[in-house]
Amino acid sequence: MVAIALLLCLSTFSISAQHVKVEASAGVITLYSNDRSGWENAVGVYEEEFFIDATLNPGVGVVSEYPGYVDTTKGVWWDRLVCPAYGPTTTTWQFSTPIVGFGGNWNPGVPGGPGAYIAVAIDGSWVSVGEIPGTYTGQFWGFVSSEPFHAVRLSPGSYCNGAWCETYELDNMVYALQPVVEIIHPEAGEIFWIEAEPEPKMPTITAKAELVGIIPTPPLTISEFVWDATIRYTEFGRDDSQSFGPKSMLGETLTSWTPDFKNIIMGGEMEIAVSVTVDGKLYQDKIIVYIRGRNPSKSIVKDELCSLILQAISYKETWPGHRWLQFHPESDPRWGLPEHERGVAIGGGWGLMQITWRPTIADIWSWKQNIKTGRQTYKEGESFSRECITYFKGLYPEDKAKIKLSKKQHEEQACHYYNRGRLYRYYWLWNPAMKNWYINPSVPPYAQDVMRIVTLVNAGSPPPEW
């Protein structure tokens, strides 16, 4: 190679700063020969690898077939690209984040003299970018692409007919990340929790974004960051959606935003989105995080229910291992998601009180609202029980003086209403011949079960998990 290199060095080369635009299938490629300042002005923001140790910058990798290595004594990357006739080798620089510019100070001219030159291509389809002259002795050579790419492949250049390889050194390798706005917090897929005690409370979710690879052209033309957040929940036939934006942010705090959930308690899948316009170009990013719910303690639930009847209804409505719960417990794969009536794909009850009739978002995600709705339903049952008396007095006016319900009978009628609403209508039916009440034979034994639980508790022998 030394003899060949000497032949190539017979002419004197003069290198001047220049940049050239070329069309490529990857977009428009602009080359910067001996013009680092031009390259820097074109990309604005960039990263630099100085090769001061064997550990490359985060997100940067290299596959070298010869192989090349970091020469820490000189602070350079040393490498050799062998021509096809002698067993071709290549070196590929890889970037985990898309980049739009690449370059460095190249020295193929000194380690043995100019050889085959260095052909440069980008990405897996290996679109040709250009060729680094073998006569460079530390000058800058780089390029900028109008389309992002992930890899730069170096291979022997067009002078393989007069050389068997190109040995070179690379220093001050620079690369420009694709300009983006990126949400850096929270992490995609992160789970946040609706706190339960003493009151249901939405989590504080502060979103942060940063501009990557963007320097606005003076004067500053970042118009604004526009944030948006939407929570969706679509399980078991639900189609709930709440938006908490858009919110425009100007000034020093424009890269950070905490959505105001106001008085809404809701979980599910939350999409956080941000957009920003820089120099007339729109940049956007979005992530998905999840909101789930924590359960209050059993004692707090019982205190909120207060009434023994309501406590017995909640116990009856839930099931073993899930008593007194608004959300699935930690032992369940669906931990933190709303308790829903088992065996019912669409419809069915929700939460502590298994609210079935037109459950709201708050009924599903706020344990206190769930109890409040359950209590209201029971009160409606009490009112309906009084209606029953009026109905049967009108039906049997001759028995008007005898048609009365005891406190326990009123409670059973209200419990039946809680379970079935106005379906089957009356739990108690009047027997005009016997002048007494009897239980409607078509109703399920729900009310009896609730009253049995009340009796066990009053007797000091509560059921399991009470």
Per-residue pLDDT tens digits for 95-146: 998 999 999 999 998 877 899 999 999 997 799 999 999 999 999 999 999 8
pLDDT at 4 over 80: no
Answer yes or no: are the C-beta atoms of 200 and 365 closer than 8 Å: yes
DSSP assigned state of 25: T
The mean pLDDT of the chain is 89
- Yes or no: domain 2-178 corresponds to CATH 2.60.120.430: yes
User: How far is the C-alpha of 126 from the C-alpha of 361, rounded, in Å?
Assistant: 53
Domain-wise residue ranges, the chain: 2-178, 181-293, 298-458
Structure tokens at 265: 């308690």
**Of 143, 85, 94, which is closest to residue 119 (Cα–Cα)?**
143
Q: Which two tokens stand for residue 308?
A: 């023994």
pLDDT, one tens digit per residue, over 240-258 is 999 998 887 665 445 788 9
CATH code given to domain 181-293: 2.60.40.10
For the beta carbon of residue 426, count every other beta carbon within 10 angstroms: 21
d(CA 133, CA 114): 8
118: part of which helix (H) or strand (E)?
strand 118-122
The number of beta carbons lying within 10 Å of the beta carbon of residue 187 is 9
User: How many Å apart are CA 27 and CA 30, to the nearest integer?
Assistant: 10
Taking the model in full, what pTM does it have?
A: 0.73
CA 293, 295, 301, 304 torsion: positive or negative? Answer: negative
Own/partner contacts of 406-413, CB < 8 Å, gap of 24 or more, are: 408/451, 409/437, 410/382, 410/385, 410/386, 411/309, 411/451, 412/447, 412/448, 412/450, 412/451, 413/381, 413/384, 413/385, 413/388, 413/447
pLDDT in tens, 340-378: 987 676 678 999 999 998 999 999 999 999 999 999 999
DSSP 45: S
Radius of gyration, alpha carbons of the chain = 37
Task: Decide the pairing of beta strands 256-257 and 91-107.
Answer: unpaired
